[in-house]
Amino acid sequence: MANVVVTGGAGFVGSRLARELLAAGSLGLAGGAAAPLSRVTLIDRSPPPADLAGADVIFHLAAAVSAECEADFDLGMRANLRATESLFAACRALATNPVVVFSSSLAVFGGSAEHPLPAVVDDHTLPNPQSSYGTQKFIGEQLLADYTRKGFLRGRAVRLMTVTVRPGRPNAAASGFFSSIIREPLAGRRAVCPVGAQTEVALMSPARAIDGLLCAATSSDEAWGGRTAVTLPALTTTVADMIAALERAARPGAGALIDWVPDPQVARLVASWPARVRARRAERLGLAPDPDFGSIIGMHLAESR
């Protein structure tokens, strides 16, 4: 029997992951045989419990997002660093060596004068975060690797791309507009785009994000291939191409519902993230990027009906 804990379980990715787990009814951990799920516990906006009830696998998705971490440094440190440290310590206290899947981010990469961002990041690119959020995620990766090295848990860190199209109301993520410029016009509402039309971005659909998280939990140690984080595959596109796909999926003129209002702070954060990814390690695990942005819109429309 497998006992699963999902932090951030009330969020978009966390709740979707929980539905996938419940629909499957079983999970094979770290290359083992599939075992029926005995319990799926969702934790959100609360400290990790002292005892995680013997959890076999913990998906740690809870986090304060990029723009709010830039606006409130202390919030990011509490939510993304101290809470993560507390969770790992609680996992160690279990003394059961649980599998811990940590959702990291492409924001661990960035460019600086002494270490320019390469045109394409790959499995050997040195992280160089240019935001508090990216720094906190990279520290989380390193903590997870050391807890794994010490045998306290079996850590698997995955670097997610910008996940879109997210339903519901926008959150405080700097990348949130990548969803709203599609979601709102599809519903006949106006949206704001804070960056230029030729801005490139690395994207993934919610379905590809779930594929990556589940692959991290189920892959054998040999297949996973070490303690460092796995960067997931990405679809590279531009804002202009996203809007063209929107108009093909909705109606001509849907792009006219987008207001172009430059935001230098958001643009700086977005520009610091890599837009092109060569994810060979993830590909060896059987993971693939979305084929095109039109397919991502199609999935969003199908799930919104």
- Determine the 3-state secondary structure of 45 from DSSP: coil
- Determine the 3-state secondary structure of 26 from DSSP: strand
* Distance set, CA 55 to CA 1, 5, 41, 92, 95 (Å): 10, 6, 9, 12, 11
Of 16-20, 43-47, 145-149, the poorest mean pLDDT is in: 43-47
In the chain, the amino acid numbered 17 is L
- Determine the 3-state secondary structure of 56 from DSSP: coil
pTM of the model: 0.93
- DSSP per-residue letters across 195-207: S-TT-EEEEE-HH
Residue 190 confidence (pLDDT) above 90:
yes
Picking from 203, 160, 199, 152, the residue whose alpha carbon sits closest to that of residue 179 is 203
Residues facing residue 105 across a β-bridge:
160
Distance CA 181, CA 46 (A): 32
Q: What is the mean pLDDT of the chain?
A: 93
* Predicted local distance difference test score (pLDDT) of residue 46: 67
Contact 87, 47 (CB under 8 A): no
* Predicted local distance difference test score (pLDDT) of residue 287: 98
Determine which one of 102, 133, 152, 177 is catalytic.
133
Distance CA 25, CA 36 (A): 6
To the query of whether residue 147 is one of the catalytic residues in this protein, the response is no
Residue 124 contacts by C-beta under 8 Å, 6 or more apart in sequence? Answer: none
* Predicted local distance difference test score (pLDDT) of residue 50: 62
User: What value does the mean pLDDT take over residues 152-170?
Assistant: 91
pLDDT band at 170 (very low <50, low <70, confident <90, very high): low
Q: Which two tokens stand for residue 183?
A: 């979601």
User: What value does the mean pLDDT take over residues 120-140?
Assistant: 96
Residue 127 confidence (pLDDT) above 80:
yes
Contact 107, 101 (CB under 8 A): no
Cis peptide before 40 (omega within 30 of 0): no
The per-residue pLDDT for range 19-62, each reduced to its tens digit, is 999 999 999 999 999 999 999 999 988 666 665 667 899 999 99
The per-residue pLDDT for range 77-112, each reduced to its tens digit, is 999 999 999 999 999 998 999 999 999 999 999 999
Cis peptide before 165 (omega within 30 of 0): yes
Q: Which two tokens stand for residue 254?
A: 């849907």
The per-residue pLDDT for range 245-267, each reduced to its tens digit, is 999 998 788 999 999 999 998 99
* Predicted local distance difference test score (pLDDT) of residue 172: 67
* Predicted local distance difference test score (pLDDT) of residue 247: 94
Q: What is the CA radius of gyration of the chain?
A: 19
* Predicted local distance difference test score (pLDDT) of residue 48: 60
Residue scoring higher pLDDT (118 or 47): 118
Residue 289 confidence (pLDDT) above 90:
yes
Q: Which helix (H) or strand (E) holds 259?
A: strand 258-260
User: What value does the mean pLDDT take over residues 159-180?
Assistant: 87
Residue 158 confidence (pLDDT) above 90:
yes
- Determine the 3-state secondary structure of 111 from DSSP: coil
Residue 200 confidence (pLDDT) above 80:
yes
